[in-house]
Structure 1
Amino acid sequence: MLKPTVGPILGHITTDEARVFLRGKLHESALTFAGIRYRVRGEERWSKGIFAKLDATRDMSDVIVIRGLGHDTDYEYQAGWFNTTNVEHTVKSVHELPLQWPQELYRLRTRSGSAGTPRAYFVGSCRYLRMTAGIPSAPHLGDRIFASITQMAQQAEPPVSAMLMTGDQIYVDDLNFFAPDREFQQILAKYRAAFSQPNISRLMANVSTYMILDDHEIEDNWPKNKRPSDNILYTNAITAYELYQASHSPAFEILHDGRISRNPKHYWYQFTDGDIEWFVTDSRSRRNLSADDRRILDVEQENALCQWLISSPARVKMIVTSVMFFPDAKQDGDDAWAGFPGQRLRLLETIRSHRLKNVIFVSGDVHGSLTSRLTHSEDPDFEVHTIVSSPLCNSRLLPHARRSSFILDQPLVRNDAGEYRQELTGKVISQDNFAHLVIDAERIQVNYHDQEGKLLQSTDIDLR
């Protein structure tokens, strides 16, 4: 067996299941299979292999689901792929082959259902990797920050539960003015290059990774500047997104035979980690820009989000939105929640009227990182926070955001009940960075680190 050409990528993990994405390579006169085997860390005996047949329609990739795991348990696994010229082979018959597995070991840890246990997460967005004629240009620049994240993951206490990548994991439009990529194979090549760099590959093989798209997975400020000819671009970009980002997330259902569904109903999803729950919104592909019903989330998603906010018993509720919920940016603010004030106010009023506590919005997009707090002039019990982490790697052609980039000298919104007032709770980080969140019984500690892992700033959000 050979090492995966992309992956393994450790995706959604529960108390008893884990999803692993991996890719092989096409051989025109042979069948291609990918496989995984696993064992409890420290034991000698391996499980039977779990195999998937790969085909070109999915760019020789698939997601393998490991089921029946023990909760709160450390495992190690191996992953690989191989060709066979015996066209009669199936995922069952290849168990009998004398396979030699790749020697590299990867780790995964299942979730714990216990409440009150401290947990940690990484958050990042906007990873720029320029491609020229299909080849990454200076790829080490877009990959080096992941070496620091991996090193921190190996040493972190409490252990890191997951990495949240909140948008712009690739830039389909990185050369938009000169030679925009629009064809399916061009976009797939960007994913293969971006996700196979050594440091990000090592991180995603050992830390559960959750992703959601933003505009650059399709086109800058999508769909504001959409043209009729962009329908093909959207189809190609979103199909590639499904393969490489959404397929290993909870957005794809597991069928009765253990395989992943090929037809997701939507790209937003939820996952649970003890008494902490995450709702990862799709704030990009379901937008309605019409004047009479302007929405950044479609009706079904807004209803699901509000119902989750009201009914979930989670102690901490984390809402991921690829674009900023607040504060508003002075330039291109209408591409984020500022451009959809009616829907934003409905969400805020839902949180306030139901007296919900410990609601945190997590986002990226703006090429600057910050924490901020929202209060209400007439309701002292209302408090909402935002955590912004961006970028993992900026383009040299684009500036980093600064404090002066945001509207901070006026209320976020007013209505008959009063004013929603905003304030920064730390400095604006104006360089490449990532966030390390530690959530315990009393607070969320937000630690921003630079490319080398050096601590830039630490801010505490007190839980109520």
Structure 2
Amino acid sequence: MFKPIVGPVIGHTTTNHARIFIRGGSPNNDTVFAGLRYRRLDSKPWSKGSLAQLHESRDLCHVFSLNDLESDCEYEYQTGWFSPMSPVHNLQSIAELPLQWPRETYRFRTRSADPAKARAYILGSCRYLRMTAGAAVLPHLGDRIFASINQMIEGAEPAISATLMTGDQIYVDDLNLIAPDREYKDILNKYRTAFSQPNIQRLMSGTSTYMMLDDHEIEDNWPANASNSDHELFRNAMAAYELYQASHSPAQKLNNNNEVEHSKLAHYWYQFSDGDIEWFVTDSRTQRNLSVDDRRILDIEQEQALIEWLCNSTARVKFVVTSVMFYPDRKLDGTDAWQAFPAQRLRLLETIRTRKISNVVFVSGDVHGSLTSRLTHSEDPDFEIHTIVASPFYNSKLLPYAKASMFVLDQPLVRTAAGDYQHELTSTVVSEDNFAHVVVETDQILINYHDRDGKKLQSISIELR
């Protein structure tokens, strides 16, 4: 058995369930199978191996579903792929073969059910990887920051529950002005290359990773820049996104056998929980309505689901993840973020304020700069929300970093008859490659920004109510 070509990637994980993505190989287009076995770290016997046939129609990718696990428990696992000598083998016959498992072992931990435990997360976005003629150019530069994240995770207390990558995990359009990638095979190659670099591969093999879509998974400023000839580009980009990012997320449901269902996704947004902390990861990219009469960054169904979740969730802390910034607004070129959809943004703000929903934090990336900010209301002292922005993991030298001078900070975000929504930065703006280490404690959220070498840049505390 050979080690995965891409992966393994630990995806959605709960107290008793985990999803593990791998991509195998296909020597001479032979029949190919993948296998995975696991055990508690303090247990000697391995589980019975789970086996799956890999298909070219899914780029030889598969997501294993591990069920009936124990909470707050560390597991180790082995996984790989193989092509049997005889082409007539099927899942039943290979189960009888004496498999030679790869030497590599990986570890992951299930979630704790104890709501009193502190939780920690890694946040980041925008990892640029330039591809020329199908090959990565200086890929170690974009992989460097993940070595620092791995080093932090090894000694982190509390342990890191998950990494959230909030968009632009690949750049389909990295050479958009010269030779943009539009073919399915080329987009798949970008995913394979980006996710198989050594440091990010190590991170994703041991830490639950949640991903979401932004524009560069398709095309810059999608769909505003879409043309009539982009239908095929969109179809190819989304098919690749579903394979490599959505497949191991909660957006993908389980079937009656508790295996990941590979049928068409109903939508790309999803929710997950971690103790008394809940996350709503939006799709603020593919369902936009740019018409003058009813501008929306979220479609009607998603907005309703988000509002219902905000109103009905009993979570102590509610994180809303949106690939583009909820606030503050930019002085120039703000047409791609929430400021271009003011009516929908105000509906969410008014829902949070009038329903007196506390401890709501908006998380985003996109702008190639990191910051935290606080939003209050001039006539309602009970209203307060925060935003955490973490970007980029690695910036293209062709693009600038964000600076504080780019944002509108000297006037209210929104003026209404009931009062003004006023905002202020609660951090400096980080204008370099970085990631955020977020710890949710009993009475505060602590955000630490680190540079690409792991050096702490600044710390910010958000008091919980």
- TM-score normalised over the length of structure 2: 0.99
CA displacement 1:379-426 (0-9 Å, x = unmatched) = 000000000000000000011000001111110011111100000001
Task: Tell me how far apart the structure 1 counterparts of residues 180 and 95 of structure 2 sit (CA, whole Å).
Answer: 44
Deviation at 1:270, TM superposition (A): 0.3
Deviation at 1:92, TM superposition (A): 3.6
Q: Which residue in 1 is equivalent to 2:211?
A: 211
* Count of equivalent residues: 464
Task: Tell me how far apart the structure 1 counterparts of residues 129 and 408 of structure 2 sit (CA, whole Å).
Answer: 30
SS of residue matched to 1:145? helix
Q: Which residue in 2 is equivalent to 1:89?
A: 89
What pairs with 1:12-161 in structure 2 (closer than 5 Å)? 12-28=12-28, 30-161=30-161
Deviation at 1:29, TM superposition (A): 5.1
Deviation at 1:112, TM superposition (A): 1.4
What pairs with 1:248-287 in structure 2 (closer than 5 Å)? 248-262=248-262, 263-287=264-288
Deviation at 1:26, TM superposition (A): 1.7
SS of residue matched to 1:257? coil
What pairs with 1:324-403 in structure 2 (closer than 5 Å)? 324-403=325-404
Q: Which residue in 1 is equivalent to 2:428?
A: 427
Asked if 2 retains the 8 angstrom alpha-carbon contact of 1:30 and 1:86, the reply is no
Task: Tell me how far apart the structure 2 counterparts of residues 261 and 291 of structure 1 sit (CA, whole Å).
Answer: 38
Q: Which residue in 2 is equivalent to 1:298?
A: 299
Q: Which residue in 1 is equivalent to 2:163?
A: 163
Asked if 2 retains the 8 angstrom alpha-carbon contact of 1:11 and 1:21, the reply is yes
Does 2:225 correspond to 1:225?
Answer: yes
CA displacement 1:56-83 (0-9 Å, x = unmatched) = 0111111110111111111011110000
Task: Tell me how far apart the structure 1 counterparts of residues 303 and 217 of structure 2 sit (CA, whole Å).
Answer: 23
Deviation at 1:45, TM superposition (A): 1.0
Deviation at 1:30, TM superposition (A): 2.3
Q: What runs of 5+ residues in structure 2 fail to find an aligned partner?
A: none
Q: Which residue in 1 is equivalent to 2:312?
A: 311
CA displacement 1:28-49 (0-9 Å, x = unmatched) = 4521111111010122211111
Deviation at 1:212, TM superposition (A): 0.2
Does 2:441 correspond to 1:449?
Answer: no
CA displacement 1:186-215 (0-9 Å, x = unmatched) = 000000000000000000000000000100
Deviation at 1:93, TM superposition (A): 3.1
Task: Tell me how far apart the structure 1 counterparts of residues 29 and 161 of structure 2 sit (CA, whole Å).
Answer: 42
SS of residue matched to 1:328? coil
Does 2:184 correspond to 1:184?
Answer: yes
What pairs with 1:237-256 in structure 2 (closer than 5 Å)? 237-256=237-256
Asked if 2 retains the 8 angstrom alpha-carbon contact of 1:270 and 1:277, the reply is yes
Deviation at 1:240, TM superposition (A): 0.3
Task: Tell me how far apart the structure 1 counterparts of residues 93 and 416 of structure 2 sit (CA, whole Å).
Answer: 66
CA displacement 1:205-240 (0-9 Å, x = unmatched) = 000000001000000000001101000000000000
Q: Which residue in 1 is equivalent to 2:8?
A: 8
Task: Tell me how far apart the structure 2 counterparts of residues 91 and 365 of structure 1 sit (CA, whole Å).
Answer: 43
Task: Tell me how far apart the structure 2 counterparts of residues 29 and 103 of structure 1 sit (CA, whole Å).
Answer: 25
Task: Tell me how far apart the structure 1 counterparts of residues 92 and 403 of structure 2 sit (CA, whole Å).
Answer: 56
Task: Tell me how far apart the structure 1 counterparts of residues 332 and 398 of structure 2 sit (CA, whole Å).
Answer: 17
Asked if 2 retains the 8 angstrom alpha-carbon contact of 1:432 and 1:450, the reply is yes
Q: Which residue in 2 is equivalent to 1:440?
A: 441
Task: Tell me how far apart the structure 2 counterparts of residues 116 and 424 of structure 1 sit (CA, whole Å).
Answer: 30
CA displacement 1:351-393 (0-9 Å, x = unmatched) = 0010000000000000000000000000000000000000000
SS of residue matched to 1:333? coil
CA displacement 1:162-202 (0-9 Å, x = unmatched) = 00000000000000011100000000000000000000000
- TM-score normalised over the length of structure 1: 0.99
Task: Tell me how far apart the structure 2 counterparts of residues 221 and 29 of structure 1 sit (CA, whole Å).
Answer: 38
> Among the aligned pairs, what percent are the same residue?
63
Asked if 2 retains the 8 angstrom alpha-carbon contact of 1:29 and 1:85, the reply is no
Deviation at 1:89, TM superposition (A): 2.8
C-alpha distance 379-95 of structure 1, shift in aligned 2 (>3 A): same
What pairs with 1:398-417 in structure 2 (closer than 5 Å)? 398-417=399-418
Task: Tell me how far apart the structure 1 counterparts of residues 188 and 292 of structure 2 sit (CA, whole Å).
Answer: 35
Alignment RMSD: 0.9
SS of residue matched to 1:350? helix
Deviation at 1:99, TM superposition (A): 1.0
Task: Tell me how far apart the structure 1 counterparts of residues 159 and 5 of structure 2 sit (CA, whole Å).
Answer: 28
SS of residue matched to 1:241? helix
